[in-house]
Chain A
Amino acid sequence: SQQGEEDPQALSIQEGENATMNCSYKTSINNLQWYRQNSGRGLVHLILIRSNEREKHSGRLRVTLDTSKKSSSLLITASRAADTASYFCATDTKSSGDKLTFGTGTRLAVRP
């Protein structure tokens, strides 16, 4: 079963706007990661946040983690057409070791 569920399933925004995607998970985690996938391609790691962290930044990306709500959000600021892709959260737990469980993804379309 999927550990993570992204929300929304699809998002369409205008270039320059911010995009926010959410991920909810079911069991306690060690780490949560966000990946990006261009259509028909492999996934690319974006950012990792540990269970004892609440916020992390990387360039135009901002990730938050709320372990009490078992949720995370990915914010992409000043979006570009090149940000068009699917975005997945992935979690690992103490029992899973380094095996990741992926969510269902959010498809982001950025209109030029």
Chain B
Amino acid sequence: SQTIHQWPATLVQPVGSPLSLECTVEGTSNPNLYWYRQAAGRGLQLLFYSVGIGQISSEVPQNLSASRPQDRQFILSSKKLLLSDSGFYLCARGQGAGDEKLFFGSGTQLSVL
């Protein structure tokens, strides 16, 4: 199973508040994990990428950070949300073993007001 658990499904937060989105994955160990953001009606923008515990690559400068405290846990955080942080956040995992396709979670719709 390559199941990805992502929660919450929707979140409304005031500007300046903190954020913590959690993603846990099942399946093979040491997966590559990804956080993507999707603006309304747009494609996906890669935010963070992790190849292992504690290893995070940031793809774009922004108000967000990511952490991987356990092999199958990937967390997206912010200390103070901005209006521009609104969007649909998707966690994904690589299947591993040289297979390039990604499995996605069901996403979190974040609205910052």
Residues of A whose CB lies within 8 Å of any CB of B are 2, 4, 30-31, 33, 35, 40-45, 48, 88, 90, 92, 98-105, 107
Contact = CB atoms under 8 A, between A and B. Distances in A.
Interface of B: 4, 6, 32, 34, 36, 41-46, 49, 59, 88, 90, 92, 94, 100-107, 109
B42 A99 contact: no
B90 A43 contact: yes
B46 A101 contact: yes
Given A40-B107, A42-B4, A43-B90, 17 more contacts: A4-B43, A31-B100, A33-B100, A33-B101, A41-B106, A42-B107, A44-B104, A45-B101, A45-B102, A98-B94, A99-B49, A100-B46, A102-B43, A102-B45, A103-B43, A105-B43, A107-B41
Contacts of B44: 43, 88, 90, 102
B65 to A, nearest CB: 18
Contacts, number: 58
14 contacts: A41-B107, A42-B4, A42-B107, A43-B44, A43-B90, A45-B101, A45-B102, A48-B100, A90-B102, A98-B94, A99-B59, A102-B44, A104-B42, A105-B41
B90 A42 contact: yes
Contact of A88 (B34, B43, B100, B107): B43
- Closest 9 pairs (CB-CB, A-B): A42-B104, A102-B44, A104-B43, A45-B101, A102-B43, A43-B104, A42-B106, A42-B107, A42-B105
Given A100-B46, A103-B43, A45 B103 contact: yes
A92 B32 CA distance: 15
Contact of A48 (B42, B92, B101, B105): B101
A33 B104 CA distance: 14
A43 B105 CA distance: 8
A96 to B, nearest CB: 9
A90 B92 CA distance: 14
Contact of B102 (A30, A43, A104, A107): A43
A98 B42 contact: no
